[in-house]
C-alpha cells in the first residue's frame, strides 16, 4: 500500500505493510486513488506531530530492504541509537562511532539513499565545515534542523 502526507517541506510517500514501515520518501505530487493502512495512518500522525514540534522521537516499527548492506544498516542504527532530536553529528564522527573510521564518504552515500526519510534522521548528519548534502535539497535539510533547534528550547 501507499499513502501520502503533505508536510511543510513537501509531499511524502509512505509505504508500509500491516506490521512495518518500508519506505518514506519525498515526491513531487501524490498519485490519486490511495488508501492508507493503519500503520501508514500512524506514520502520518507522527509526522504531523513532528512538524508541529510535538514529537521528538518516532515510535514506528520499520524494516530495511534485504538489499541494504550490513554497513548501511550499521550506519542507520548508529545514527538512530546515538543522535537525538536537535543534535547534529558530522559524517566523520558517525563513521568513527559506527566502527568505520575514515569512511565519511561512504556514510554520505548511505545518507543519500536513506529509505525512511526524517524517521531515520539523516538530516542530522552534517559536514565538518558546512551542512553537507541532502537528497531532498539543502533548504529542506536546513528547515528540519531549524525545526528541531527551535523546539528544544
Distances from the Cα of 102 to the Cαs of 3, 70, 126, in angstroms? Answer: 38, 17, 15
Q: Which of the residues are catalytic? A: 122
Contact assessment for residue 25 and residue 2, using Cβ atoms and an 8 Å cutoff: no
Contact assessment for residue 51 and residue 89, using Cβ atoms and an 8 Å cutoff: no
Which residue in the block uniquely carries the three cell numbers 548534502? 133
Which residue in the block uniquely carries the three cell numbers 486513488? 33
Amino acid at each position: 500500500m501507499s499513502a501520502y502526507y503533505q508536510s511543510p517541506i513537501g509531499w511524502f510517500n509512505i509505504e508500509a505493510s500491516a506490521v512495518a514501515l518500508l519506505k518514506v520518501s519525498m515526491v513531487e505530487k501524490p498519485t490519486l486513488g490511495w488508501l492508507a493502512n493503519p500503520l501508514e495512518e500512524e506514520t502520518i500522525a507522527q509526522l504531523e506531530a513532528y512538524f508541529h514540534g510535538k514529537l521528538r522521537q518516532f515510535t514506528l516499527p520499520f524494516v530495511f530492504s534485504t538489499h541494504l548492506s550490513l554497513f548501511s544498516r550499521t550506519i542507520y542504527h548508529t545514527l538512530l541509537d546515538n543522535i537525538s532530536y536537535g543534535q547534529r553529528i558530522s559524517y566523520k564522527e558517525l563513521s568513527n562511532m559506527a566502527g568505520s573510521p575514515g569512511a565519511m564518504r561512504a556514510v554520505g552515500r548511505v545518507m543519500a539513499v536513506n529509505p525512511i526519510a526524517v524517521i531515520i534522521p539523516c538530516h542530522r548528519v552534517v559536514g565538518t565545515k558546512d551542512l553537507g548534502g541532502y537528497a531532498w535539497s539543502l533548504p529542506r535539510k536546513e528547515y528540519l534542523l531549524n525545526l528541531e533547534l527551535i523546539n528544544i528550547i
